[in-house]
Amino acid sequence: MFLGEEIMSEIFSRNELIWGKEAQKSLAARHVAVFGAGGVGGFALESLARAGVGNFTVIDFDTVSESNINRQIVALHSTIGRKKTELFEERLKDINPEINVKSVDNFYNSRLDEAIFSQKPDFVVDAIDTMRSKIELLVFCKKHNIPVVTSMGAGNRKNPAELYIADISELQNSKCAFVKNVIYHLKKQGVESGISAVVSREKPQSLAKIENHEKISTPDGEIFEFTKFSPASTPFVPAVAGYFMGYYVIERLLEK
């Protein structure tokens, strides 16, 4: 037996007691692309790696800041200033040395589709918090029949028990402007169903609005400018939303 096989067997032996050895082997061959490696996306990555998914593409342009420490799994005082993609590549390989990770240290926009999707993933996790990029990604996935689960509703909430998973055609939340705007813009592009979402029933709450003007320069020389309202956030909801997404992806992959 090769050393790699010994590592895989021991790491995932408890998983195999739930879904069996053959299912575990199948997960090792699966490829998941995770867009956004912050609070939600980071915990989705963590759960998927520990479940045994063997191939990842991680897309994020950001570095760790002090304000990330309350809710992001790779955010520590020792990692402030480091790229999130770099940190996750290290972390995922530390969880499973056999894992394959492709890092895309860039701000997602549709011009990256050819490079990112050169190898079609089995599933996409959308944890993007910028509306335009989120819409572009979801429309692309729908158009190209790529299964996707999207996060809508982790900011400005504190109760993780209010989270649920549903198709976008069945969302019950009418309290969140972000969710309503995403649904509105998807409908304008003809997308009304077929995308699963993790969303909260909890009414958004924040003691103050923090408005930031973002200017992002990408590695290929493009500049994106937009106004962003930084949401309130707790340790609880982003983590649970990420684990919900991870669970949902594994359930769908095992069905195949």
pLDDT band of 94, cuts 50, 70, 90: very high
Range of the structural domain that residue 243 is part of: 3-205+233-255
Determine, yes or no, domain membership for 71. yes
Domain of residue 176, CATH code: 3.40.50.720
Looking at residue 3, its pLDDT comes to 38
Determine, yes or no, domain membership for 214. no
Q: Which residue has the tokens 């490829």?
A: 31
Determine, yes or no, domain membership for 105. yes
Looking at residue 117, its pLDDT comes to 92
Looking at residue 65, its pLDDT comes to 96
Number of domains present in the structure of the chain: 1
Average pLDDT value for the chain: 91
Determine, yes or no, domain membership for 118. yes
Determine, yes or no, domain membership for 212. no
Determine, yes or no, domain membership for 87. yes
Q: What is the DSSP letter of 148?
A: E
74-90 pLDDT, tens digit per residue, is: 999 999 999 999 999 99
pLDDT band of 208, cuts 50, 70, 90: confident
Instruction: Please tell me the distance from the alpha carbon of residue 102 to that of residue 136, in angstroms, as a whole number.
Output: 21
pLDDT band of 215, cuts 50, 70, 90: low
**CB contact at 8 A, 242 and 46:** yes
218-232 pLDDT, tens digit per residue, is: 676 676 666 666 789
pLDDT cut 70: percent of the chain above it: 89
Q: Among candidates 136, 140, 115, 249, which has minimal Cα distance to 182?
A: 136
Query: In the predicted model, is pLDDT for residue 2 greater than 50?
Result: no
Query: In the predicted model, is pLDDT for residue 1 greater than 70?
Result: no
Determine, yes or no, domain membership for 175. yes
